[in-house]
Amino acid sequence: MNVNQRALIAYRNGLRATKIAFNNDTRMLISARERMREGMINPNQKLTKVQQIELLEGVSEFLRKNIVQGKKTGVDKDGKDVYHLNIHSEIELGDNDSVKKAENTLKASGSGCCGGSGR
């Protein structure tokens, strides 16, 4: 597959990702798509073509997995806003247990911070 084809496929997946992230939010959807088109026409020249494509693929993945759409649905009895969060099937869900595990490993190794090996 040549670079042009790959770029177009990345663009297609990017557009689909904007729909997943910003469905029913027309303003955001349109502006995300305009931004994406702009990026296709004037990509960051400091990156190689392959890097530009990888960047777009990364953006698409982020839009799919890490953007949660919130919609104000009303106010609760204390007058605070209530939002409905659209946590769809592709959203990356953190696992609290894995956080605890990571902490234990750090403790067990008895080493310093910042990934130091403690040697």
Partner 1 sequence: MFKNIFRTTASLATRSVVITTRPTYVAPSFIRLYSASALNKEDVTKRVVDVIRKFDKSLANSQIEPKSLFHKDLGLDSLDTVELLVAIEEEFDLQLPDKVADELKSVGETVDYIISNPEAN
Residues within the interface to partner 1 (CB under 8 A): 4-5, 8-9, 11-12, 15-16, 19, 33, 37, 40-41
What DSSP designation does 115 have?
T
Phi/psi for 95 (5° steps) reads -110, 115
- Closest to partner 1 by CB, 88 vs 101, is 88
Structure tokens at 81: 């806003």
Instruction: Find the shortest distance in angstroms from Cβ 86 to partner 1.
Output: 17
Instruction: Find the shortest distance in angstroms from Cβ 96 to partner 1.
Output: 33
Structure tokens at 63: 């839009």
- Closest to partner 1 by CB, 16 vs 49, is 16
Nearest to 49 by CA among 88, 1, 116: 1
Instruction: Find the shortest distance in angstroms from Cβ 49 to partner 1.
Output: 15
Question: Strand pairing partners for 82?
Answer: 74
- Closest to partner 1 by CB, 9 vs 55, is 9
